[in-house]
């Protein structure tokens, strides 16, 4: 999908988008190839993690926010946000939630073991193996498991982005 500001494209992993194209939450991955402004999206909270590349520095309403690889940062989608790439292009994963309509959390996990429950698990940085109940699931780079929050999930190997989201 094209960015709202027209400067790039994101690849939607999951959302609660309705037939009219409206959503209360959305998880997407996007390549960022150059410095520039972020799209402003009113009444939205954002979680973002750089999953490939060397990171970027965000200026969010003139406050600096360092985006190190595999670390989640939070900011308001309606803030004036400018990105400066640290050393070349990056790929990020981004959870957006409309305030007062959806809430959630996002984390990047590489520590093996129990992760708890999650709505979505995405393999980032390479292949990953997760245990869901009695099954082991092999995820290739950027593969996602959706609607998996009914069972406890364990990371067997790799690095994953774990997202929990729900409508208010």
Same domain, 80 and 142: no
Report how far apart the first and last C-alpha atoms of the chain are (Å, whole number). Answer: 26
* pLDDT tier for residue 115 given thresholds of 50, 70 and 90: confident
Is the whole model's pTM more than 0.75, yes or no? yes
Same domain, 143 and 156: yes
d(CA 81, CA 76): 9
pLDDT value at position 116? 77
Residues whose CB falls within 8 Å of the CB of residue 127, separated by 6 or more in sequence, listed in order:
138, 139, 140, 141, 157, 158
Considering the chain, what percentage of its residues have pLDDT values greater than 90?
A: 82
Considering the chain, what percentage of its residues have pLDDT values greater than 70?
A: 98
pLDDT value at position 149? 67
Same domain, 83 and 111: no
Task: Answer yes or no: is 124 within a domain.
Answer: yes
Same domain, 110 and 60: no
Same domain, 68 and 121: no
Of 74-88, 111-125, 139-153, which gets the smallest average pLDDT?
A: 139-153
Stretch 138-149: mean pLDDT, rounded? 88
pLDDT value at position 64? 97
Same domain, 138 and 155: yes
Q: pLDDT tens digit string along 63-73?
A: 999 999 999 99
Task: Answer yes or no: is 79 within a domain.
Answer: yes
Same domain, 81 and 146: no
Same domain, 84 and 141: no
pLDDT at 148 exceeding the cut of 80: no
Task: Answer yes or no: is 47 within a domain.
Answer: yes
CATH number for position 126: 2.60.120.10
Q: How deeply is 147 buried, as exposed, middle or buried, from its count of CB atoms within 10 A (0-12, 13-18, 19+)?
A: exposed
Stretch 84-89: mean pLDDT, rounded? 96
Domain end, chosen from 73, 100, 127, is at: 100
Stretch 33-39: mean pLDDT, rounded? 94
d(CA 145, CA 118): 10
Task: Answer yes or no: is 1 within a domain.
Answer: no
* Domain that includes residue 30, residue range: 11-100
In degrees rounded to 5, what are phi and psi of residue 99? -55, 140
pLDDT value at position 133? 81
Same domain, 84 and 26: yes
Stretch 67-87: mean pLDDT, rounded? 97
pLDDT value at position 1? 84
Stretch 49-56: mean pLDDT, rounded? 97
Number of domains the chain contains: 2
Domain end, chosen from 100, 116, 148, is at: 100
Domain end, chosen from 100, 118, 136, is at: 100
Q: Are strands 25-32 and 11-15 parallel, antiparallel or unpaired?
A: antiparallel
* 12-16 CB contacts, 8 Å cutoff, 24+ apart: 13/93, 13/120, 13/122, 13/144, 14/119, 14/120, 14/144, 14/146, 16/102, 16/167
pLDDT value at position 134? 86
């Amino acid at each position: 999908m094209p960015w709202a500001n027209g400067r790039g494209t994101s690849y939607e992993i999951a959302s609660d988008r309705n037939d009219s194209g409206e959503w209360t939450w959305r998880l997407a991955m996007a390549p960022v190839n150059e410095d520039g402004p972020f799209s402003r999206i009113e009444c939205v909270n954002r979680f973002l993690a750089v999953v490939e590349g060397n990171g970027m520095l965000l200026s969010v309403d003139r406050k600096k926010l360092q985006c190190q690889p595999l670390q989640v940062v939070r900011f308001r989608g309606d803030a004036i946000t400018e990105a400066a790439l640290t050393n070349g292009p990056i790929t990020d994963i981004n959870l957006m939630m409309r305030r007062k309509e959806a809430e959630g959390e996002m984390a990047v996990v590489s520590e093996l073991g129990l992760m708890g429950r999650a709505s979505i698990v995405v393999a980032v940085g390479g292949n990953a193996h997760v245990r869901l109940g009695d099954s082991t699931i092999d995820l290739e780079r950027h593969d996602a498991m959706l609607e998996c929050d009914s069972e406890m999930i364990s990371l067997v190997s790799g690095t994953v982005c774990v997202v929990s989201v729900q409508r208010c």
